[in-house]
Structure 1
């Protein structure tokens, strides 16, 4: 599966769990970590966990596995490593503190269509 297709599957999984402020950054040529970063937030720990588990469920349905998931227990910043995509699921209070969008400001945003936009 191509990275862009996987990105849309992950973004939809986040949207399905009502993640807020979902953005995708094209990391190709900027970082060797991944092709894309997907960044989103949940309003509380329970929602952050639900978003991360929703990502796991969505990729499992496609026969794919998550390489690594960190931070699920405390649910303040859950990192979901899918190889070509790294998804950062933040608690809303943590997102502004870490401000990955500014840290990786050289990375162009990728357009993703979500049902909650609008």
Structure 2
């Protein structure tokens, strides 16, 4: 696991404002030429996918950081937010399982996101409502 570089913090902070189910960041700069980091966010519903994506876009716009492209924000299953050196994918749970980007990027180095005080919840806890 590698340490999060300070330049990425403003991009990731808004994600944690909206309580995602899970967040994974992978450093892919050694594996691809089109971006340095891929962030995979799991939202609990299609409504949360849209809300979270819009919140990220609006928050970063307030910092004068504009996405070079966005896709699927209103559809609510999978939103892609492209900031050039960083790409954020926001998935509804079933879509996240289906596309399995963590599996696709299994050779990528995970990024330590512990500074955001993530409270991880296992699938079993989530399924049981605890």
Per the TM alignment, residue 33 of structure 1 is displaced from its structure 2 partner at its CA by 1.8
* Structure 1 residues 105 and 52: CA distance shift in structure 2, 3 A: same
Deviations 1:57-97 (A, max 9, x none): 22112111111110112110100000110000000111011
2:125 corresponds to which residue? none
| Structure-to-structure mapping, 1:1-118, within 5 angstroms | 4-112=5-113, 113-117=115-119
- Stretch moving more, 78-87 or 59-68: 59-68
Per the TM alignment, residue 11 of structure 1 is displaced from its structure 2 partner at its CA by 2.0
**Given the two structures, how large is their TM-score scaled by the length of structure 2?**
0.82
Aligned equivalents of 2:51 and 2:6: distance in 1? Answer: 22
8 Å CA contact 1:9–1:58 kept in 2: the answer is: no
Task: Give the unaligned 5+ runs of structure 2.
Answer: 121-130
Task: Give the unaligned 5+ runs of structure 1.
Answer: none
8 Å CA contact 2:22–2:43 kept in 1: the answer is: no
Equivalent pairs counted in the alignment come to 116
**Given the two structures, how large is their TM-score scaled by the length of structure 1?**
0.90
